[in-house]
């Protein structure tokens, strides 16, 4: 398989010079490659390098084929043909067809463009989409399909995708998945979407301690990664034990020598032996002590070196530790009841009539296309909004809501100050203890909210809502995995599995919903 892109010993750093990773050597041909790593590990920076936006800190890059990028269509002022990048080319053809074209038009005209556009729209699942239609009028899934149609028209040899399913509904995610299956060129996909990563041919993991290239999709990679981490952790523990044992042996040797020295001084003080004999014994003891000291120093050095080697094989990262306190929610306790609830804004009905109830530690997923009212439903449950009609019974005030941006945090305040603002009844010691449950200890609690990663923001938000004297019976999470890396998602899943309260979750991440044990769904739209 020919290579369209060759990376040789690539090293990347942040603009302020902080190293991201070193020594990436990779050839990309017609295969699908998944790019994973912690937030801040350099995934997006690597894609920018390949796209030609930045230069590497070290190594070389050879672009043999063409490079394309799946763009996010954020400019809602565009029409479909403008978003496809064909408005100018189609206008040129129209001028030529009317006999109004210039020589330049004739030289640059692509007479196959209309066929390319229609073929791309059909393949993207939009066969009847008018080209003059504004992007503003399209759903999230339709916008994604338009972006996919654009890359189909451009037909690059290698396609770069940076978190392509973030903020997409089920339709949009399906469009990206279908494109991965049909694409004939190479793909480099940076994503935390495990469903997409199951469709790749290999995984490249970027970490501060090295780069792993694994032939296979996500599940096989995760299994091999966990086994490797377990081996590395065992090696580290054995090396630490060996160092402790050596340190104890050296200490015992020093204590033994001290006892011998003390006995020798006592003998000399009593004059038991003649001076010549005592001098010989002293010299022999000093030579023996020197040899023992050299041996001890060498052994300690070897043990310390072995420990450092073992540490280098284990990625040293602050774990996303989420320790949710118990709520002791009774199994039959009624929390929320909706009876024929209709939500409308003016003459526009969003959803309804909707009826459901939440009892005990249920796990419920809210489903629906983008714009169907999922976040509005959360605002009704929490009491922030009132319905257009129908009745809502809210039988507890122990409800907490975290949106995907963790908007309850003031970005200008520290984590500690945010927790104090939201829980003014807590003492300083209680506030620090609450943050420690979520791995914000000492100086970590003083980080400014605006500087936090996605995983840190979620941890800080959870710390704030669970610091209350009575933790929430009902936790509402709106797209909680959107801005988390895979390691953070896995830690969140582990925490929510052990949560004994009720969960209502908005998410398009099927793997996440399965992992936290969703029992039923409420579908809007």
Mean pLDDT, range 247-269, rounded to an integer: 71
Q: Which of 100-114, 153-167, 218-232, 412-426 has the lowest mean pLDDT?
A: 218-232
Residue 348, pLDDT score: 86
pLDDT digits (tens, 9 = 90+) for 385-428: 999 999 999 999 999 999 888 999 999 999 999 999 999 999 99
pLDDT digits (tens, 9 = 90+) for 261-313: 676 666 566 555 555 555 555 556 555 555 666 666 777 777 777 777 766 66
> Which of the four pLDDT bands, split at 50, 70 and 90, describes residue 56?
very high
Omega within 30 of 0 (cis) for the link into 103: no
Residue 424, pLDDT score: 94
| Residue 264 burial by Cβ neighbours in a 10 Å radius (0-12, 13-18, 19+) | middle
What is the percent of the chain with per-residue pLDDT over 70, rounded to a whole number?
Answer: 90
Handedness of CA 324, 327, 329, 334 (dihedral sign): negative
* CB distance 244 to 79 below 8 Å: no
Residue 174, pLDDT score: 86
Higher pLDDT, 275 or 192: 192
The conformational region for residue 159 under phi > 0 = left, psi -120 to 50 = alpha, else beta, is: beta
Higher pLDDT, 258 or 359: 359
CA 213 to CA 222: how far, in whole Å? 12
pLDDT digits (tens, 9 = 90+) for 448-470: 999 888 888 999 999 999 998 89
* CB distance 197 to 398 below 8 Å: no
- Collapsing DSSP states into helix, strand and coil, what is residue 475? strand
Residue 265, pLDDT score: 63
Quickly count: other Cβ atoms within 10 Å of residue 306's Cβ: 17
Residue 460, pLDDT score: 93
* CB distance 204 to 184 below 8 Å: no
* pLDDT beyond 90 at 342: yes
Report residue 355: phi and psi, to 5°.
-130, 130
Average pLDDT, rounded, for the chain: 87
pTM above 0.95, yes or no: no
* pLDDT beyond 80 at 142: yes
Higher pLDDT, 75 or 356: 356
């Amino acid at each position: 398989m020919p290579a369209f892109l060759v990376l040789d010993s690539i090293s990347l750093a942040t603009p302020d010079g902080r190293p991201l990773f070193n020594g990436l050597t990779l050839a990309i041909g017609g295969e699908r490659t998944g790019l994973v790593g912690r937030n801040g590990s350099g995934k997006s920076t690597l894609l920018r390098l390949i796209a030609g936006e930045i230069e590497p800190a070290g190594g070389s890059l050879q672009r043999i084929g063409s490079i394309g990028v799946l763009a996010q269509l954020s400019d809602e002022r565009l029409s479909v043909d403008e978003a496809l990048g064909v408005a100018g080319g189609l206008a040129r053809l129209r001028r030529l067809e009317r006999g109004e074209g210039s020589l330049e038009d004739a030289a640059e005209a692509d007479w196959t463009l209309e066929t390319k556009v229609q073929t791309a729209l059909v393949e993207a699942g939009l066969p009847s989409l008018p080209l003059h239609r504004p992007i503003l009028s399209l759903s999230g899934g339709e916008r994604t399909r338009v972006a996919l149609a654009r890359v189909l028209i451009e037909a690059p040899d290698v396609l770069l995708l940076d978190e392509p399913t973030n903020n997409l509904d089920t339709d949009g995610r399906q469009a990206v998945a279908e494109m991965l299956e049909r694409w004939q060129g190479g793909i480099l996909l940076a994503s935390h979407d495990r469903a997409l990563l199951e469709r790749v041919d290999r995984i490249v993991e970027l970490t501060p301690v090295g780069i792993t290239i694994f032939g296979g999709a996500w599940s096989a990679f995760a299994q091999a990664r966990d086994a490797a981490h377990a081996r590395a952790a065992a090696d580290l523990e054995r090396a630490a034990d060996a160092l402790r044992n050596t340190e104890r042996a050296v200490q015992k040797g020093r204590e033994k020598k001290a006892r011998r020295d003390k006995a020798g001084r006592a003998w000399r003080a009593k004059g038991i032996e003649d001076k010549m004999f005592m001098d010989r014994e002293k010299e022999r003891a000093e030579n023996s002590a020197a040899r023992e000291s050299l041996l001890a120093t060498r052994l300690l050095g070897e043990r310390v070196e072995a420990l450092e080697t073992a540490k280098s094989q284990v990625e040293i990262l602050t774990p996303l530790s989420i320790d949710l306190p118990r709520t002791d929610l009774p199994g039959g306790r009624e929390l929320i009841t909706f009876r024929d609830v209709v939500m409308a804004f003016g003459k526009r009905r969003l959803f309804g009539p909707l009826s459901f109830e939440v009892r005990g530690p249920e796990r419920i997923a809210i489903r629906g296309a983008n714009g169907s009212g999922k976040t509005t439903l959360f605002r009704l449950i929490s009491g922030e909004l009132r319905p257009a009609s129908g009745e809502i019974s809210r039988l507890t005030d122990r409800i907490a809501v975290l949106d995907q941006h963790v908007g309850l945090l003031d970005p200008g305040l520290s984590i500690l100050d945010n927790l104090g603002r939201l829980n003014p009844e807590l003492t300083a010691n209680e506030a620090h203890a609450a943050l420690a449950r979520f791995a914000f200890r000492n100086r970590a609690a003083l980080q400014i909210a605006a500087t936090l990663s996605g995983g840190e923001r979620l941890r800080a938000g959870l710390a704030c809502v669970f610091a209350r004297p009575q933790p929430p019976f009902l936790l509402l999470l709106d797209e909680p995995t959107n801005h988390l890396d895979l390691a953070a998602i896995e830690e969140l899943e582990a925490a929510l599995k052990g949560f004994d309260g009720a969960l209502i979750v908005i998410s398009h991440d099927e793997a996440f919903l399965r992992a936290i044990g969703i029992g039923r769904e409420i579908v809007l739209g």
